[in-house]
Each structure stands twice: as C-alpha cells, then as structure tokens.
Chain A
C-alpha cells in the first residue's frame, strides 16, 4: 500500500508543469511569485469554475465551501450574504461533505 502511495506521488510530480524552486526575493529586491490564480500544470490551467463547490461541515457544524482542484484543495467559510453570519446546522454530521468537490479528473490519492 505504501509503495502504491509513493507511485501515486511520483505520478503527481511527473505531471506537474513548471516547478519553480522557492520564494524569497529576486536580485532586484522584488518578492518572488509563490502562487497565482491559474496553475501551470496539465490539469488545471483554467482558474476555478465560478459558483461551484461542495459543502463541508466543520467540527462546529458550520458549512464551508470545498473545492478539490487536482493538486490543490481550497476551502473557505460560507457566510450569510446579508448578516455575514456563518451557516451552521445539524442537517449532516460534522465532517460530512455533500455535492461534488472535484473540478477535474486529476488522480486523487485518498488516505487509507
């Protein structure tokens, strides 16, 4: 099982596009870019599709938007647009995820 995991990680690395090494400051003193909206790898060259996410319940029963964009995962809190309050209920237990969280077919390496 462990070797499979390693192979999976190797596949992921092999498919990664331009890998820059590190952040820090370049010779002109400008900070190096460490993240940008569009990835440079094979699978997710587009930005995130708008208005599309799964809902993940956190341990307090509050909802969060959840997106698996292949190599990256994103999560951000759902808030009521009027009051700004979080959206929390017990319609599902903490930790449960509803609706599709994947935005592409990038191979998923799941924990066992």
Chain B
C-alpha cells in the first residue's frame, strides 16, 4: 500500500508539473483550448476512515473531491482501516472454507465486541493454484466469516473474494505467502 501511495504521489506531482507546463503554454497557443479561469490551492482533509480528500475555500463557497489513486481509482488512505486481519491458516484447514472451532470462537468474540454498524469481509489467498480457483476459495472463506458475523447480529454489507490479486507480501517466499493468506474485515463506524 505504501508503495502504491508513493507511486500515486509521484503521478500527482508529475500531473502538477505537466499542468504547470500546459499553463505556461496556454498564453502562446490558446487556440482551440478553453480559457484559464483561475487557480486553486488544494488542501488535504483526512476523513474519519483515514482516507484523503482535496478541498479548498473559495470565500463564500467550498470545493471538495476524493483523492483517488490514478491507476486504480481507489481512495488514497493513510492507513487501511482494516479492523481485523486474520491469517486463514488459523481459521481454516488448507483448501477448506470450513471454520475450525477455534477460528469460529475467535471470530464470534471479535464481531460481538465490535462497535461497528456494518462490516465488509474480504478473502485473500497466496498465488498457488489457479487464479480462478483462488477467487472461489477466498469467496467461500469470506462467506464463512460473514456468516459468523451475521450469527451474532452483525450487519455484513459486502463479502468479496479477491483470490491472489491483492497480495500484501511477496509470493516468492513461504513467509510472504503466509501473510497473503488472510481474511480482512473493514469496520464501518459512525
């Protein structure tokens, strides 16, 4: 994520440099391009989830947009507000979406103790087996975790299996693969 942010930042800086170049050029070659009507100094506002927005105060009016990663369209957040990241080795047997008794108990305790009004459950795998298989496995695992949340009255807003497509570590080492095998829960709080 940090690498992604810095890449996004580089792109923003690159975009700003490009924009500055274009502004310099507008006076000379304004033909066919809209007239420059002003300039905004954007400030950064961070929302309660830690995600960034650009805003600016125009005197009697204000402007605000989400900051997004130009490559992915996803929001740019200081820290991922994942209130639970659980390694799937402790929750499930290999290749299974059936929770171990210990895993189920852990999850029940977590969902019961949470103050969130809603949850998003995201399943992930390492890169062994096919992409398609991993999407299915991570989806079934996310569904198992979501079922525990619902069983204790939790409100699950979405459950998604990302398979091996959103790794947080390298799949070329055993330790990295273990980190990638995980279920993430995002808590939606008031």
Contacts and interface: CB of A to CB of B under 8 A. Distances in A.
A109 interface: no
A55 B59 CA distance: 24
A16 B66 contact: no
Given A74-B64, A76-B47, A81-B80, A35 B188 contact: no
Q: What does DSSP make chain A's interface, helix, strand, loop or mixed? A: loop
B contacts with A: majority SS: strand
Interface of A: 12, 16, 19-20, 23-25, 29-41, 44, 47-48, 50-53, 55, 65, 67, 69, 71-85, 87-89, 91, 98-99
A37 B55 contact: yes
Given A50-B46, A82-B120, A37 B57 contact: yes
Nearest to A45: B57
Contacts of B43: 36-38, 47-48
Interface residues of B, number: 52
Contacts of A78: 47, 49
A52 B55 contact: no
Contacts of A19: 59
Contacts of B65: 76
A76 B51 CA distance: 11
Interface in B17-58: 23, 27, 36-51, 53, 55-58
B117 interface: yes
Interface of B: 23, 27, 36-51, 53, 55-66, 68, 72-75, 77, 80-82, 117-118, 120, 122, 155, 157-158, 160, 184, 186, 188, 190
Contact of A71 (B47, B60, B80): B60
B59 to A, nearest CB: 6
11 contacts: A16-B60, A32-B39, A35-B38, A36-B57, A47-B43, A50-B45, A67-B64, A79-B66, A82-B186, A83-B74, A85-B120
Contacts of B23: 30-31
A95 B50 CA distance: 24
The listed residue with most B CB atoms (<10 A of its CB), out of A44, A73, A76, is A76
B47 A38 contact: no
Contacts of A71: 59-61
A89 to B, nearest CB: 6
Contact of B55 (A31, A48, A83, A91): A48
Contacts of A31: 23, 36-39
A72 B38 CA distance: 19
